[in-house]
Amino acid sequence: MAKSKFEYVKQFEAEDKCLPNCWIVIRVDGKSFHRFADVHHFVKPNDDRGLNLMTRAAQCVMDEYKDVVLCYGQSDEYSFVFKKNTNVFNRRGSKIMSNVVSLFTSSYVFYWPRYFNTQSMQYPPAFDGRVVLYPGDKNLRDYLAWRQADCHINNLYNTCFWKLVQERGLTPAQSQEKLKGTLSSDKNELLFNDFSLNYNNLPEMYRKGTVIIHQKEKELDANSMSPLERSPRNSVSFSFQGDYIPRTRVQILHSDIISEKFWTEHPQILDGVKK
Amino acid sequence: MAKSKFEYVKQFEAEDKCLPNCWIVIRVDGKSFHRFADVHHFVKPNDDRGLNLMTRAAQCVMDEYKDVVLCYGQSDEYSFVFKKNTNVFNRRGSKIMSNVVSLFTSSYVFYWPRYFNTQSMQYPPAFDGRVVLYPGDKNLRDYLAWRQADCHINNLYNTCFWKLVQERGLTPAQSQEKLKGTLSSDKNELLFNDFSLNYNNLPEMYRKGTVIIHQKEKELDANSMSPLERSPRNSVSFSFQGDYIPRTRVQILHSDIISEKFWTEHPQILDGVKK
Amino acid sequence: MAKSKFEYVKQFEAEDKCLPNCWIVIRVDGKSFHRFADVHHFVKPNDDRGLNLMTRAAQCVMDEYKDVVLCYGQSDEYSFVFKKNTNVFNRRGSKIMSNVVSLFTSSYVFYWPRYFNTQSMQYPPAFDGRVVLYPGDKNLRDYLAWRQADCHINNLYNTCFWKLVQERGLTPAQSQEKLKGTLSSDKNELLFNDFSLNYNNLPEMYRKGTVIIHQKEKELDANSMSPLERSPRNSVSFSFQGDYIPRTRVQILHSDIISEKFWTEHPQILDGVKK
Amino acid sequence: MAKSKFEYVKQFEAEDKCLPNCWIVIRVDGKSFHRFADVHHFVKPNDDRGLNLMTRAAQCVMDEYKDVVLCYGQSDEYSFVFKKNTNVFNRRGSKIMSNVVSLFTSSYVFYWPRYFNTQSMQYPPAFDGRVVLYPGDKNLRDYLAWRQADCHINNLYNTCFWKLVQERGLTPAQSQEKLKGTLSSDKNELLFNDFSLNYNNLPEMYRKGTVIIHQKEKELDANSMSPLERSPRNSVSFSFQGDYIPRTRVQILHSDIISEKFWTEHPQILDGVKK
């Protein structure tokens, strides 16, 4: 059996190296998660178990890929930012993307029981993935701002929508009709006037989504004795326990990443890779 | 919060449509499965549980993507062949590939307990994925032949290697040294003379890998009453039971797909898509 | 001066190999040739000098690239078909395309005086280029049919348009208005009834465009003494004279390449490359 | 004749948009120019006519494409830098590249007689082209530095090589042998000691190549009456005369573009496009 006779077929594989000196963003996105959420009785508009499981899966990716400098998640999506000069998998786009999507998916299924306890998973979910390159730091920040703005807009809408359905008894169609054409200010007022809800008092995780970054070295030192006691405001030092030993410490935040403040406080995210 | 201000970043996403009228092959491949197999005490050189779990995961992909006309797996890899004229996800390469990798991974973790029972998974595994296009039917067959030849070569080697280690007490290094430079015929003789093993009597699944194809329509009709009774020689009609209802019937085979016979017996695989 | 310090920038060059076993089509297309034709007083709707110069330039490309099995031209465009298994420039798409476009352009300017005599070129023209891959023989034939159908449709329209302008004194706008919504049959009748012109009697070069193929070996032998005397019907054996010695003999045809006949008569075009 | 029946073949054309916010560099490179230079008796090691013709052709490209902020040429190559945010041809790489290569080639043949007078062109030359993206300003400067360093290294070598051949009577092979393994300092000394030539006194065009940039607005104003009188040191204000009216004024320089000075003096080149 001549192996070599067939090996020419390897030449049909196309190279897909990512342009050097660009931020590599991998975004994973739940496939048909509307249905998945329904089947598994997710709490609407936000299910803490589901959101925390997403974050746990994202963290597995960050543990594995040290060149991910930041990841951001909301709803059924997570974006992973590889540093500009990463050489992971020799910058092959499909290789990086498929590995991230697969590990994320794997972790989501693997850790499901920790978050959903006795409620068993009904069928295996899937996530799609994409690779996007951003040449400039501003482009990257605008990408993340785009996703966080999307989180806000959707959450404000969904909060209103489900209030109308759950507390006012409107049908989904009626609720949708009522919200058609409303501005953000209209929705804020609706929540405040009709449901005595100040939108800004909702948990930041719902309004801002979740940011995960590596902990700075000196914080790691300071924290070495008792990481959980020293978690900075607005973050939770994550200490993975049990069967799987993490190799880094990360910070889980629900910060505003659109405005300047976050980037001023965490200059190392963009700095380490300036070229 | 102006959403539109950031939306320009969508323009950085590149289109990656697959050339029309080409077979689209997605191959998924275990990442660091050597270690994964060790940690989970896989039987060497072939672990039935592991191989069958791979096949179960592959079948989930085939259930979901009707345009997969055939898939072939061996060891820790599986290749999925989408028909030439598929329009799934508008032929976007990354979209197809990421969805297949993710669903495969998800199913692997999800169905683990059915195959490994009380032995729990220690950590979430990952698979990478790639897209390869094959314009000609011959190219496609040569691709599949390449993978099956690879299965044979590796299995023959591994069978010898583990015999030497497990039954002769050689160290892995000694075993490797002993097999260095040997031909297939040498290995066959080694197995026969030293271990009274006729390589050709080993299970076909080990020697040929696994092929999954859709059952032909008329067979489906004929089988409609009792699919399990009528499974053709060399195949097992797979009937999925339990919480997840499959939408097609498939055939699981361990046939030789290098020689002509298989393709003559299953003309519909290549036929349906001639252009 | 350290050369190596800068050489890393070569890594930014992306590979763009054409998928193997596909026909590689390079199409060159005049840029703003409407204006170029006006400035140089091209005869409307067809200028023999301009069309023949295009064909001369195309022939220079065929002389240089032996793997071009056929080229087809009409109006200000020419398409070059490289055989499926060509390995020219290691199948790098940009390399092939840029070389073809450049040599075509160069030859167009170089041979201009032979066709336009004392009328000098007013400014250097440009052509754009593109690479398109066709996996199937049928796809390739359909591509060529598409271009030839385009030739016919445009030529029929233009013939009517210019008759109305040149012989009836209509303004371009009036002429355009009159032809709006007309079918092919309407246009044929217009030419016949109003201008006593049977469209099918127009030169084939105008109605069908120009096909160039390599002469078959045995014809070359037979022709070796006096190529010009033995030119088959419907073709002109091209014998390049003067300062530049061609290395092949080609046939210049104005055949119908949409119907089966042409391909039956010239089986070698598609045959030599079956895989 | 159904046009639509064939139009599906357009779907085989792949999109190739350049990543936004990157410098787009198009490099054109003479094909087999060694032979072309021999056939046309180019003076060795540098032929002023040939170099100036290259620059004239480059200028035609700059006249046509206002988004080219700088071009750099040496030997038989020229690189064109499109500003980061150009939207020319909707950033389609093949379209930009093929148009630039074609116009460059066209102009080279068109203007040949102005530079080579009665010496006629023997055959049409060709140039290949490529597209390279550079995300960072530093990457772009390093690219240009790479080409200029290449110019220096080759020119120093060629100057020595041809001195040995032309003035010492060595054969090319002997000359090559003698220079093997020599450092820049060795070559400088060879020229100085054996040929009384101070390399640094050679024309800058030979040692540095040629840079073309757009003239700054205020210089244009100041120069409006008599551009040729006010040309700054180290540059020639180019005023195109005759049949073809240029739409911009450019500066032709032979400056060092590796060191900081050039970029400090011409901040507008990189500035206009910061994002």
- Using CB atoms, which chains have 3+ pairs under 8 A with B? A, C, D
pLDDT tier for residue C36 given thresholds of 50, 70 and 90: very high
Cα distance between residue D205 and residue D197, in whole Å: 17
Kindly list the strands in the beta sheet with D127-134, ordered across the sheet, starting from the edge strand earlier in the chain.
Answer: D127-134, D23-30, D77-82, D68-74, D210-214, D250-253, D235-237
Mutation for C interface: B17, B21, B23, most C CBs within 10 A:
B21
CB pairs under 8 A between A and C: 15
Q: How far is CA C275 from CA A13, B25, B60, B67, in A?
A: 18, 19, 34, 25
Structure tokens at B204: 């076909």
Residue A118 pLDDT grade (very low, low, confident, very high; cuts 50, 70, 90): very high
Q: How confident is the model at residue B103 (pLDDT cuts 50, 70, 90)?
A: very high
Task: Give the whole-number percent of chain B exceeding pLDDT 90.
Answer: 84
**Domain assignment present for C82:** yes
Average pLDDT, chain C: 89
pLDDT for the residue numbered C249: 83
R_g of chain D computed on alpha carbons: 21
pLDDT digits (tens, 9 = 90+) for D74-111: 999 999 999 999 999 999 999 999 999 999 999 999 99
Instruction: Give the pLDDT of residue D248.
Output: 58
User: For C140-159, what is the mean pLDDT?
Assistant: 97
Residue A4: per-residue pLDDT: 74
Q: What Cα–Cα distance (Å) separates residue A69 from each residue in A79, A221, A255, D57?
A: 11, 19, 16, 46
Residue C61 within any structural domain of the chain: yes
What does the pLDDT read at residue A248? Answer: 58
β-strand partners of C70: C81, C213
Q: What CATH number has the domain bearing residue C243?
A: 3.30.70.3000
pLDDT digit string, tens, across residues B184-231: 999 999 999 999 999 999 999 999 999 999 986 554 444 444 443 333
Contacts of A3 in chain B (CB under 8 A): 146, 149-150, 153
* Whether residue B80 has pLDDT greater than 60: yes
State the smallest CA–CA distance between residue B86 and chain A in angstroms. 18
* Cα–Cα distance measured from residue B45 to residue C196, given in angstroms and rounded to the nearest whole number: 85
Cβ separation D138–A19 shorter than 8 A:
no
| pLDDT score of C74 more than 50 | yes
Q: Answer whether residue D38 is part of any domain.
A: yes
Cα–Cα dist D129/C129, whole Å:
11
pLDDT at B271: 86
CA distances from C107 to B105, B214, C244, D101, D122 (A): 57, 56, 12, 14, 11
Residue type, D207: R
End-to-end CA distance of chain A: 51
Total domains in the fold of chain A: 1
Contact status, residue A44 vs residue A100, Cβ threshold 8 Å: no
Mean pLDDT calculated for residue range C128-142 = 98
Q: Is residue D72 in a domain?
A: yes
pLDDT of C55 > 50? The answer is yes
pLDDT of residue C186 exceeding 80, the answer is yes
Residue C182 amino acid letter? T
Confidence of residue A106 (pLDDT cuts 50, 70, 90): very high
Over the stretch D186-217, which tens digit does the pLDDT of each residue have?
999 999 999 999 999 999 999 999 999 998 65
Q: Which of B123, B128, B240, B258 to mutate to test the interface with A (most CBs of A within 10 A)?
A: B128
Contacts of D139 in chain A (CB under 8 A): 20-21, 275
Q: Is A234's pLDDT higher than 50?
A: no
Q: What is the pLDDT of residues B7-28, one digit of tens each?
A: 999 999 999 999 999 999 999 9
Q: Cβ of D19 and B17 within 8 Å?
A: no
Instruction: Lowest mean pLDDT of A227-236, C39-48, D99-108, D184-193, name the range.
Output: A227-236
A191: in domain: no
- What is the pLDDT at residue A30? 98
Q: What is the pLDDT of residue B238?
A: 42
Q: Model-level pTM?
A: 0.90
pLDDT at C9 over 90: yes
> Which string of DSSP letters, residue by residue, matches chain A?
--STTTGGGGGGPPP-BPPTTSEEEEEEEESSHHHHHHHTT--SS--HHHHHHHHHHHHHHHHH-TTEEEEEEETTEEEEEE-TT--GGGGBHHHHHHHHHHHHHHHHHHHHHHHHTTS---S---EEEEEEEE-SHHHHHHHHHHHHHHHHHHHHHHHHHHHHHHTT---HHHHHHHHTT--HHHHHHHHHHHH---GGGS-HHHHH-EEEEEPPHHHHHHTSS-TTTTPPTTEEEE---SS---SS-EEEE----SSHHHHHH-THHHHTT--
Q: What integer pLDDT is reported at residue A217 of this predicted model?
A: 57
Q: What is the mean pLDDT of residues A78-97?
A: 98
**pLDDT score of C4:** 74
**Tokens 């892995």 belong to which residue?**
B172
pLDDT (0 to 100) of residue D130: 98
Tell me which residue of A50, A59, A23 sits closest to A215, measured CA to CA. Answer: A59
Q: Are D156 and D122 in contact (CB under 8 A)?
A: no
Question: In the structure encoding, which two tokens stand for residue A214, read together?
Answer: 């590596």
Rounded to whole angstroms, the Cα distance separating D78 from B197 reads 68
Query: Which of A252, A251, A20, A258 is CA-nearest to residue A138?
Result: A258
Q: Do A19 and C20 touch (CB under 8 A)?
A: no
Q: Which residues of B touch A105 (CB under 8 A)?
A: 101-102, 105-106, 109
Q: Which of D12, D14, D19 sits opposite B12 (nearest CB)?
A: D19
pLDDT of residue C5: 92
Question: Across residues C235-248, what is the average pLDDT?
Answer: 43
Helix B137-166 with B172-179: angle, nearest 10 deg: 130
Q: Do B21 and C136 touch (CB under 8 A)?
A: yes
D130 with C13: Cβ contact below 8 A: yes
- pLDDT of B222: 46
CB-CB neighbours of A150 under 10 Å: 17
- Mean predicted confidence (pLDDT) in C23-49: 98
Three-state SS string across D18-53, please?
CCCCCEEEEEEEECCHHHHHHHCCCCCCCCHHHHHH
Q: Tell me whether residues C21 and B133 touch, CB distance under 8 A.
A: no
Closest in D20, D133, D138 to A275, CB measured: D138
**CB contact set of D99 (below 8 Å; sequence gap of 6+):** C31, C126, C128, D89
Structural domain contains residue C108: yes
Q: Can you tell me the distance from the alpha carbon of C89 to that of D3, in angstroms, rounded to the nearest whole number? A: 34
Sign of dihedral through CA atoms B86, B92, B98, B99?
Answer: negative
Residue B40 falls within a domain, yes or no? Answer: yes
- Provide the residue range defining the domain that includes C74: 17-144+210-228+236-271
Given the structure tokens 């920038």, which residue do they identify?
C9
Q: Give residue B220's pLDDT.
A: 47
Residues of B in contact with A109 (CB under 8 A): 105-106, 109-110, 124
Q: What is the pLDDT of residue A249?
A: 83
List chain D residues with pLDDT less than 70.
Answer: 1-3, 216-248, 272-275
Q: Distances in Å between the alpha carbon of C124 and those of A154, B126, D61, D89, D103?
A: 55, 57, 11, 20, 7
Would you call D212 helix, strand, or coil by DSSP? strand
Is residue C56 within 8 A of residue C111, CB to CB? The reply is yes
User: What H or E segment, with its residue span, contains residue B159?
Assistant: helix B137-166
Query: In this structure, what token pair is assigned to residue C275?
Result: 């895989």
Coil, helix or strand at residue D181:
coil
Q: Which residue has the higher pLDDT, A225 or B176?
A: B176
- Within a domain: residue D156? no
pLDDT of residue B210: 98
Q: Are A179 and A161 in contact (CB under 8 A)?
A: yes
Residue B113 has pLDDT above 50, yes or no: yes
CA neighbours closer than 13 Å in the CB half-sphere of residue C262:
19
Q: What is the b/e burial string over A196-210, where b = at least 16 CB atoms within 10 angstroms of the residue's CB?
A: ebebeebeebbbbbb
Residues B39-53 have pLDDT tens digits of 999 999 999 999 999
Give residue B81's pLDDT band: very low, low, confident or very high (50, 70, 90). Answer: very high
Which of C177, C182, C153, C183 minimizes the C-alpha distance to C165? C177
What whole-number distance in Å separates Cα of residue D84 and Cα of residue D204?
Answer: 29
Torsion of CA C98, C103, C104, C108, to 10 degrees: 140
pLDDT band for A2, please (50, 70, 90 cuts).
low
Higher per-residue pLDDT: A105 or B233: A105
Establish whether A142 is an annotated binding residue: no
pLDDT at residue number D34:
97
Contacts of B21 in chain D (CB under 8 A): 12
Instruction: Determine if residue C79 is labeled as part of a ligand binding site.
Output: no
